[in-house]
Amino acid sequence: MTKAQVFENKQPVLGINSLGRIGKLTLWHHIGRKYFKEIIVNQGREIGTGLDSVAQAIEKDSTYGLMHKFLYGVKAERIIQIINEKEGKMLIDGIPVTILREARNPAEIPWRRHGVDVVVDCTGKFKDPTVASDNKSGSIRGHLHGGAKVVINSSPFKIKNKALALPDDAVTMIYGINHTSFNPKKHLIVSAASCTTTGLAHMVKPLLDNEETSNILTASMSTVHAVTNTQSVLDSIPKAGEKDLRKNRSILDSIILTSTNAAKALAEVIPEVQHIGFMADSIRIPASTMSLIVLNATFQVRNQQGINTKMLNELYGKAAANNPEKLIRFTMEQNVSADLFGVDAAVIIEGQFNHTRTAFINLDLAHIPNMPAEVAKSFPDKVMKVPVVHAKIFGWYDNEFGSYTNRLGDLTVYIHKNIL
């Protein structure tokens, strides 16, 4: 087959908007996966001095090394060939890849001309699904106008006008949690949530699926999170109206407290947690990738055996063993973050560090609304002692490639198969 003949094969074709961190790694994922026979990447501007600069930006990565060695091993040779500088065409491991360098507004990107059905928007800019497709500043809906049948956003939705609800054609999905609810007749804009929500959802689901741990009274999580491109390398001056002054501090030498919408997004993909009052926060650290979720959950004890560390670890061990796609992994080894770079899993449970503690919650019945007086009198001192177990559960996740980008890729392929 000649190089010209390779480019004539137009199906299935994937569109990627932006070669940022997740955009580039999404390209890596699909080059290695080989499901899509052609990939169209829109950057919307020139990069360096030409396609050779693009090729080097794609191939080299400060976190994961060279693309070909990461995907195929240390003996692998370079897999990028430049085919046509003017048309932005290259071959990456035999897959035709076209780099578009003109349009920044999603509505102006010619996806239809290139036969693209599914677009993954990795800009992190177009988060509001209520914005019209013809908005001059751009909109996630613009990709539909440009010819895409479905758009997948690699970030959570964020609706600016709080009076507006999430449109019926928009949905948040995490592969392995709720992706099978995708409806090609209804869902046109899909958010793949965030890296933290992906890992958290896969930690919480086994608890809810087990009768003994399904009654979560309250829960919270902190993610010890690697740096992202939204942070400052060196201290900078905040923009007008900026309330979080920590965002402008240097990530090189500081541990930085910040917020996360993981709790809100978790309720969108696992509605059962809506009653828990889940809280979440993020602690940014000077690391290029690998993050750690520390999940705190309090359970009501349902039997004399109760819930203990051994039981929790067995629960997660079985969840991992019974998951053929290995979306959740369980280990009793003593890991540090560097041991797990690139591991293909939504979350890796660090069983050796999990622990539980049993206690009693003293409920003052006099302060419980609508408590019948006769019921309160039946308890000494009007106090009910409720046995509970507090659990601390640790889950690693590669917030760039291993966990998030791979699950985003799984979701992308699933959606494409179901719109055909």
pLDDT at 7: 41
CATH number of 3-167: 3.40.50.720
| Residue that the structure tokens 């970030």 belong to | 155
pLDDT at 229: 87
| Cis before 156? omega within 30 | no
Report the sign of the C-alpha dihedral through residues 99, 103, 104, 107, in that order. negative
User: DSSP assignment, residue 76?
Assistant: P
pLDDT at 381: 80
88 within 8 A of 99, measured Cβ to Cβ: yes
Distances (CA, A) of 380 to 359, 377, 413: 19, 7, 60
Name 354's Cβ contacts closer than 8 Å, sequence gap at least 6: 309, 312, 313, 316, 391, 392, 393, 394
Distances (CA, A) of 138 to 145, 192, 281: 11, 20, 30
Q: How far apart (Å, rounded) are the C-alpha atoms in residues 124 and 141?
A: 14
pLDDT at 368: 86
pLDDT at 375: 84
pLDDT at 386: 86
pLDDT at 230: 87
Mean pLDDT estimate for the chain: 94
Ranges of residues in the chain with a pLDDT under 70 are 1-10, 304
Phi, psi of 387 (to 5 degrees): -75, 130
Q: pLDDT tens-digit profile of 227-283?
A: 998 899 999 999 999 999 998 999 999 999 999 999 999 999 999 999 888 999 999
- List the domain boundaries for the chain: 3-167, 196-399
Query: What's the fold here for domain 196-399?
Result: Dihydrodipicolinate Reductase; domain 2 (3.30.360)
Q: pLDDT tens-digit profile of 184-195?
A: 999 999 999 999
pLDDT at 3: 47
Exposure b/e, 36-67, CB count within 10 A at least 16 = b: bebbbbbbbeebeeebeebbeebbebebbeeb
pLDDT at 270: 95
